[in-house]
Amino acid sequence: MENKKRSFFERLTGSMSMEEENLEPKKEHLIKGVKSENGDKKNGNHWIEEENDEAELSVDVYQTPTDIIIQTMVAGVKPEDLELSIARDMITIRGQREESRTIDEDNYFTKELYWGRFSRTISLPAEVEPEEVEATEKHGLLTIKLQKVDKEKKNSVRVRSI
C-alpha cells in the first residue's frame, strides 16, 4: 500500500481521504490521557509527530512603508535558543522549547502544550536587507523587524582615472 502524505487539513482534523478510509481502519485522535471507548489511553498528538519532527510556529506578518514585521509567540524559550536565518526573500525561525518538569504520563488529564523543536520558514512579500534586522522578545512575543530593500535608492559613482 502506498504511504501518501496527508494534507495539513487532514493532519489538523485527523480526517483522511476517501481512498484512505476504504483501505485502512480509522485512527482515533484523542487528547493525551483521555480514554477511548474500549478503555485504552491514546496519544492524541502522535499525528503531529508522525509527519514532522518539528512543530510549526504561528506568525503574524505585516508591513509598514519601510519594514516587514513578523511576530510570533515563543514563550518559555530563551533568546539564545532561537535561530534566525535571513535571506533577501525568506526568513527561517528555529528554536526549541525545553520541558523542565518530570511528571508521569498517567498523572496528566490534558496535555496540549508543545515541547520540543519548532521552526517556520516564511516567504517574504518584498525583498529585505539581511543585514538590517532587529529582533526583540518581550513577555514571550518575538518581534522581527526587517528593513525593505529601497529600490528607488540611487547612488552616484564618480569615475576615476588610473
pLDDT tens across 4-54, in order? 666 665 665 666 655 555 555 444 444 344 444 444 444 444 444 444 578
CA 58 – CA 60 distance, rounded (Å): 7
Asked if 66 and 43 sit in the same domain, the reply is no
Asked if 33 and 62 sit in the same domain, the reply is no
Asked if 61 and 141 sit in the same domain, the reply is yes
Instruction: Report CA-CA distances (Å) from 11 to 8, 45, 46.
Output: 5, 10, 10
Number of domains in the chain: 2
Q: What average pLDDT does this structure show over 80-106?
A: 88
Asked if 58 and 2 sit in the same domain, the reply is no
pTM of the model: 0.60
Instruction: Report CA-CA distances (Å) from 130 to 76, 88, 108, 150.
Output: 27, 6, 44, 13
Helices (H), 2-156: 8-13, 18-23, 46-51
Instruction: Please check whether residue 21 lies inside any domain of the structure.
Output: yes
Range of the domain at 26: 1-52
Contact 59, 45 (CB under 8 A): no
CA 160 – CA 41 distance, rounded (Å): 78
Range name among 24-38, 54-68, 73-87, 136-150 with the lowest pLDDT average: 24-38
**CATH, residue 110:** 2.60.40.790
Residue that wins the pLDDT comparison between 87 and 3: 87
Res 37: pLDDT: 46
Instruction: Please check whether residue 73 lies inside any domain of the structure.
Output: yes
Task: Classify 47 as helix, strand or coil.
Answer: helix
Residue that wins the pLDDT comparison between 150 and 66: 66
Asked if 97 and 58 sit in the same domain, the reply is yes
Residue 53 grid cell: 519532527
Asked if 62 and 129 sit in the same domain, the reply is yes
Asked if 62 and 117 sit in the same domain, the reply is yes
Asked if 42 and 107 sit in the same domain, the reply is no
